[in-house]
Structure 1
Amino acid sequence: MTEEYAAQVHGRTVPKDRVEVLLEAVPARDRETRPEALARAERQRRRWATQIVVVDELARQACAKRGLRGAGNCATSHNGAAPEKRPTTALPEERDVADLGSIVAVALAHSQAARTLLEQLEREQQIPEEAAYDYYDRNRDRYLTPTALRHGADPFHETSDLLPYAQVRDGILHELRCAAGRRAFFDWLDRARADVVYAPGYEHPGDPSHPDHEHRH
């Protein structure tokens, strides 16, 4: 009997319909023309989309345990139907996701729950004052005054050319808190998806147990 779900996430099944809705929302980036190559590309795209939906499901469960609100579903309602509004296709401009890898980046773009959890993890990070000042001291080239930038000043010799630490402190703390929050998010995700069970054809695209696996970010 063919399984009707794509994955089992901590005792809850993820219907295949949720994967199909996401596939419709995210256009294929492969432009294969040969039938066998196109079929392979679509198999891998389905596995990739399954990872996005699994991240969403894991994030929704984590948000529920934490009592966090605003954690809606990823591209589908809970029963697999399409939502009233289409999912977003990009994160807000202020969030740089280039270093996150395609699975996490797209999950954050399409899953309100994943964004809610990441934001909460960022808020929980405590950055010592010493760490913020050390970052300022080691990255002086980022804090040159506009005049110094125009004149090509050496930030590691002329301290008078630097913006005062007090002026940039809040921005540094925010940046370090976001970086620490991302690390916490990845740590959480690695632990959370360790026990996920995938139906045949829905495994991770890099899983070596299926013959046409690949690991693409």
Structure 2
Amino acid sequence: MTDHAAVVHGEPVPKSRVDALLETVQERPFRGAGNGATSHNDAADGHRHNAALSSPARAERQRRRWATQVVVADELARRAVAERGLPPVPEVSPTRLLAVAENDVADLGSIVAAALAHSPAARTLLTELEAEQHIPEEAVQDYYDRNRDRFLTPEALRRGVDPFGRRAAPSDFLPFEQVRQAVEGELRRAAAHRAFFAWFDQARADVVYAAGHEHPGDPSHPDHEHRH
């Protein structure tokens, strides 16, 4: 009987790391609707329980597989941080309940959201990826032009101005120069998350999982949740 949950670049990841994470997660966070940013594998992993997952034993097996992905993300991120020559990150010490914001689950998928909440290395890597993103000025202007409802002034909001209606005046909107930096930052974070998803999908492609620790959406095991 193997004592590891996965093998990453020839190095075993002990089951004890998965067990330690599971101790901090009361139940597996679920992904909200409307997320088009996660990979096709993670897109299946977050749907809420339904009749197919009514068995507590099956749900627990899937929770273990989900936790394995989070631990693997931490291990891969730790290696990526070292390869990039970034400062060492502290060891994960899961001694308290892991809090994962519902908005993050909806935007990122449950695995990536939990990995970023759990792993200092994953957060360090994401910060580095964010710093690498270049957002063209025209992209910032285009976002401002296409999302006018987000830039109504407080007074226009109180008056119930329709941002896309003919009666909306330029004075009903916050000036582009006032919000440009915030918009650029938002676009940069979104680009960093896309880069993180791409990195994670590529980095875990060669990971070998022990039986019972496969990806929750892996169709090779009978409990898989690969539904779209």
The TM tier, using the shorter chain, reads 0.7 to 0.9
Change (3 A) 1:92 1:37: closer
Return structure 1 stretches of 4+ with deviation > 4 angstroms: none
TM-score under structure 1 length normalisation = 0.84
1:37: Cα distance to partner? 2.7
Residue of structure 2 in register with 1:172 after alignment: 183
Matches within 5 A, 1:1-217: 2-28=1-27, 37-69=55-87, 71-74=89-92, 83=93, 86=95, 89-90=98-99, 96-156=104-164, 157-215=168-226
> How far apart, CA to CA, are the structure 1 residues paired with 2:201 and 2:161?
44
Q: Which moved more, 1:42-51 or 1:168-177?
A: 42-51
Report the Cα distance in structure 2 between the residues aligned to 1:198 and 1:164, rounded to whole angstroms.
52
Q: CA deviation at 1:88?
A: 6.1
Q: 1:48–1:103: 8 Å Cα contact kept in structure 2?
A: yes
Q: How many Å separate the matches in 1 of 2:123 and 2:201?
A: 17
In the alignment, structure 2 segments of 5+ residues that lack a partner are 29-47
Change in 2 beyond 3 A, CA 1:200/1:143: same
Could you tell me whether the CA contact under 8 Å between 1:5 and 1:15 is conserved in 2? Answer: yes
SS in 1 for 2:2: coil
Distance 2:155 2:184 in 1: 25
Shift of 1:72: 3.0
Give the match's secondary structure for 1:98: helix
* Residue in 2 that maps onto 1:79: none
Q: Distance in 2 between matches of 1:11 and 1:99?
A: 32
Question: Aligned equivalents of 1:179 and 1:199: distance in 2?
Answer: 33
User: What is the total number of aligned residue pairs between the two structures?
Assistant: 202
In 2, distance between residues paired with 1:182 and 1:87? 26
Question: Which protein, 1 or 2, shows the higher relative CO under an 8 Å CA cutoff with sep ≥ 6?
Answer: 2
1:117 is matched by which residue type in structure 2? L
Change (3 A) 1:88 1:123: farther
Confirm or deny: 8 A CA contact 1:9 1:195 kept in the other structure.
Answer: yes
2: CA distance between counterparts of 1:109 and 1:70? 18
The Cα shift of 1:137 comes to: 0.8
3-state DSSP class of the match of 1:25? Answer: coil
Identity %: 66
The SS at the match of 2:223 is coil
Segments of 5+ residues of structure 1 without an aligned counterpart are: 75-82
Aligned-partner Cα distance in 2 for 1:19–1:52: 8
